[in-house]
């Protein structure tokens, strides 16, 4: 894919289809170790050994309409191309964790892309809670810069107003865009 | 133009699904980003790429492409060739670069899907 956000969306949709009601999405940009790590952990129905062993096979899918499922195989190919890897761990009834690791500075490493748009659309339309953590750590900083939110907390603060409400969506978009922009500035500062 | 004729004119080596060489080619597409191919290539197209791993078979099967030309001397492993045979996906190889292959296809009248 041209952007990581598209791979991430693929994995989020997999989690939804597995019946997840809560997803933890963590993006770690560690400029000290030159690593980008994307982790999606869900509380869906999970997979057994047999399913896990086929998950990276492009000819394995739970979709009925076609016999090809390329989301994870392509994500893995992208990670491997960037000196990284992708692993999937899961137990039946215990959800699943997908972790993709990339060499952050690798020339073929696609940019994160439009995370804001992807997150807003997902959070608003999916009946699924998300806990999001995006961390950027640089060698010259004492502490990593973090942008974090939890839809469960947001919903509590809204006291019942649905996330689909226009005003809420607009606020959510602004909130996430701001958070992401601050991280982009932190990251860009070290690239000068 | 049939895939067989293209293979002959470009001196391509056919590895799998030889029965598919009789397919009429509708056009050509060249790209190494599989996500792009999935979005743009059309049924019956011949696809030129340097990628040789099993995912190309999945894409060709999904889109019902005429076949895949793996350019630049790339070779698919045995597992990939076996899968291609199972899925009736024709894989042809050539040491020529993507650029040259596409140029020759264009000269033969196999054009892009723009």
> Mind listing the pLDDT tens digit for each residue in A136-158?
999 988 899 999 999 999 999 88
Q: Are A58 and B89 in contact (CB under 8 A)?
A: no
Count structural domains, chain B: 1
Q: Check: CB of residue A78 under 8 Å from CB of residue B59.
A: no
Tell me which residue in A2, A6, A58 faces B58 most closely, judged by beta carbons.
Answer: A58
* pLDDT tens column, A42-52: 999 999 999 99
Q: Is A70 on the interface with B (CB under 8 A)?
A: yes
- Checking if the pLDDT of A192 tops 60, the result is no
Across residues A108-116, what is the average pLDDT? 93
Using a CB–CB cutoff of 8 Å, tell me whether A59 touches chain B: yes
Q: Kindly state the percentage of chain A with pLDDT values over 70.
A: 98
Domain range for residue B78?
A: 3-107
- The pTM (predicted TM-score) of the whole model is 0.87
Residues 6+ positions from A67 with CB-CB distance below 8 Å: A59, A61, B61
Range 72-111 of A in CB contact (< 8 A) with B: 73-74, 77
Number of H helices, E strands in chain B: 5, 5
What domains sit in chain A, N to C, each tagged with a CATH number?
4-191 (3.30.565.10)
**Domain contains B12:** yes
Chain B residues whose CB is inside 8 A of the A59 CB are 58, 83, 87
Please report the pLDDT score of residue A164 as a whole number: 87
Q: For residue A1, is pLDDT > 80?
A: no
Residue A71 C-alpha, separation from nearest chain B C-alpha, in angstroms: 9
C-beta of residue A131 within 8 angstroms of C-beta of residue A15? no
CATH code, domain with B30: 3.40.1390.20
> Low-confidence residues of chain B, pLDDT below 70?
none
Domain assignment present for residue B112? The answer is no
Per-residue pLDDT of B44-69, as tens digits, reads 999 999 999 999 999 999 999 999 99
Percent of chain A with pLDDT over 90: 79
**Residue B36 forms part of a structural domain:** yes
Question: How would residue A191 be classed by pLDDT, with cut points 50, 70 and 90?
Answer: low
- Please tell me which residue of chain A has the smallest CA distance to B55: A58
pLDDT surpasses 80 at A190: no
Residue B47: alpha-carbon gap to chain centroid: 4
Q: How many angstroms away from the CA of B83 is the closest CA of chain A?
A: 9
The answer to whether the Cβ–Cβ distance between B58 and A6 falls below 8 Å is: no
ipTM: 0.74
Chain B, window 35-74: residues with a beta carbon less than 8 angstroms from a chain A beta carbon:
35-36, 38, 53-55, 57-59, 61-62
Does the structure show a pLDDT above 80 at A160? no
Provide the pairing of β-strand A22-30 with A129-137. parallel
């Amino acid at each position: 894919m041209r952007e990581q956000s598209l791979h991430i969306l693929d994995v989020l949709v997999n989690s939804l289809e597995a019946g997840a009601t809560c997803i933890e999405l963590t993006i770690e940009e560690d400029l000290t170790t030159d690593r980008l790590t994307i982790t999606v952990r869900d509380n869906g129905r999970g997979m057994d050994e047999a399913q896990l062993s086929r998950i990276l096979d492009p000819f394995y899918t739970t979709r009925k309409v076609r016999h090809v499922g390329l989301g994870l195989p392509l994500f893995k190919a992208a990670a491997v191309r960037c000196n990284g890897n992708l692993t999937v761990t899961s137990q039946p009834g215990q959800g699943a964790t997908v972790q993709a690791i990339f060499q952050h500075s690798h020339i073929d490493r696609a940019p994160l892309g439009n995370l804001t748009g992807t997150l807003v659309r997902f959070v608003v339309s999916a009946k699924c809670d998300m806990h999001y953590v995006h961390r950027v750590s640089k060698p010259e900083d004492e502490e990593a810069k973090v942008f974090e939110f939890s839809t469960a907390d947001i919903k509590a603060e809204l006291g019942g107003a649905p996330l689909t409400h226009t005003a809420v969506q607009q606020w959510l978009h602004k909130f996430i865009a701001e958070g992401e922009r601050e991280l982009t500035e932190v990251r860009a500062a070290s690239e000068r | 133009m049939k895939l067989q004729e293209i293979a002959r004119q470009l001196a391509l080596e056919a590895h799998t699904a030889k029965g598919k060489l009789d397919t009429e080619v509708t056009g050509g597409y060249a790209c190494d980003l599989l996500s792009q191919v999935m979005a743009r290539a059309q049924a019956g197209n011949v696809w030129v790429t340097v990628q040789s791993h099993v995912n190309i078979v999945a894409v060709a099967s999904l889109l019902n492409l005429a076949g895949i030309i793996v350019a630049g001397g790339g070779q698919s492993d045995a597992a990939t060739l076996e899968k291609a045979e199972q899925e009736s996906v024709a894989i042809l190889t050539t040491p020529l670069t993507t650029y040259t292959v596409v140029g020759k296809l264009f000269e033969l009248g196999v054009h892009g899907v723009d």
